[in-house]
Amino acid sequence: MSSKDKLRKFRENETFSCLYQPATEEVLNVPYRLKGKWGKEVFKNDNPIILELGCGKGEYTIALSEKFPDKNFIGIDIKGARLWKGAKYAEQNNLKNVLFIRTRIEFINSLFAENEISEIWITFPDPQLKRARKRLTGTMFLERYKKFLKPDGIINLKTDSKYLHNYTLALAQQNHLTINEANNDIYGSGRADEILSIKTFYEAHYIKRGLEITYLSFMTDNTTPLTEPVWDEEYWETEEAKGRENTPANKG
Ligand SMILES: C[S@@+](CC[C@H](N)C(=O)[O-])C[C@H]1O[C@@H](n2cnc3c(N)ncnc32)[C@H](O)[C@@H]1O
């Protein structure tokens, strides 16, 4: 994407009513003005709110919103030129149950209040092989999600990374979280139904490369502080690092 293209998208983003772009000072250590109020003030209903974290172009957010008009969906990403795609579609198709927020997920507790969120999708996040603290399914981030997820709230992880899948599964097991489902090849096993076969931009790329796509569904239903899993990290790091040389360039 040329920088001219990016600038055009950034300008158009300013005009989208479904896209929120809080300034850092609106979310850094202060509650955002809509924290706890997204249902009442923005969606104008009490329907469940579902998040997609690191949503990129927003494929899951958009597809789920069209399948479930009685639920609300919020896609979050830091990259404006990617969000533009989902936001543009939502505007053009007048989707009332979708919005996007351009922010860092690190600020998420400034955005959502206790019990405000029913479910989270994390789609093809960077597995952060070297930095557990940066993993969107690591204990640092899960502790943040626990603060706003309903007690029966579900976290869905879809990834091509066997490393991230197994790490997250080990974390859930070690912390006695409820695991609803763990599948290490959703297409090969025939598990990919109309929800799990929604394909994101990155997923399409990984499928083309012949990688298996995994799915994990679990709950953060243990209120005691979470601990990082004890598992054979080095083995997985090495195995996966070998296979991760040709991931899509982190452009746009
Ligand atoms: C590998 S891409 C996947 C995008 C999309 N879910 C897909 O499957 O096509 C990871 C996305 O997460 C976003 N991301 C990573 N860390 C983030 C953070 N801390 N805050 C906000 N977005 C983040 C990136 O900008 C990127 O769009």
Ligand 1 lined by 79 (C-beta under 6 Å): yes
**Ligand 1 nearest atom to the CA of residue 203, by list position:** 8
Note whether residue 127 is domain-resident.
yes
Helices marked H in 22-176 — which ranges? 24-27, 59-67, 80-92, 108-111, 139-146, 162-174
Strand ranges, E, within 160-222: 179-183, 214-219
Burial of 189 (0-12, 13-18, 19+ CB in 10 A): exposed
| φ and ψ of 136, to 5 deg | -65, -10
Nearest CA to ligand 1 atom 14: 54
Q: Which of 61, 57, 87 is nearest to 74 (CA)?
A: 61
Do residues 72 and 47 touch, judged by C-beta distance below 8 A? yes
Note whether residue 252 is domain-resident.
no
Note whether residue 199 is domain-resident.
yes
CATH code of 176's domain: 3.40.50.150
Return the best residue to mutate from 1, 51, 64, 77 for the ligand 1 pocket (most ligand atoms within 8 A of CB): 77
Percent residues over pLDDT 70 in the chain:
96
Q: From residue 88, how far is each of 16, 55, 152, 243 by CA, in Å?
A: 7, 14, 32, 34
Amino acid making up residue 188:
G
Ligand 1 lined by 77 (C-beta under 6 Å): yes
Residues with a known catalytic role: 126
**Predicted confidence (pLDDT) at residue 219 exceeds the cutoff of 70:** yes
Note whether residue 105 is domain-resident.
yes
CA dist 33 and 38 (Å) reads 10
Distance in Å, CA 54 to ligand 1 centroid: 3
Note whether residue 209 is domain-resident.
yes
pLDDT of residue 221: 86
Which of residues 252 and 206 earns the better pLDDT score? 206
Domains identified in the chain, total number: 1
pLDDT, tens only, 167-217: 999 999 999 999 999 999 999 999 999 999 999 999 999 999 999 999 999
**Predicted confidence (pLDDT) at residue 127 exceeds the cutoff of 50:** yes
| Structural domain of 187 | 3-243
**Ligand 1 nearest atom to the CA of residue 202, by list position:** 9
Note whether residue 35 is domain-resident.
yes
pLDDT of residue 252: 41
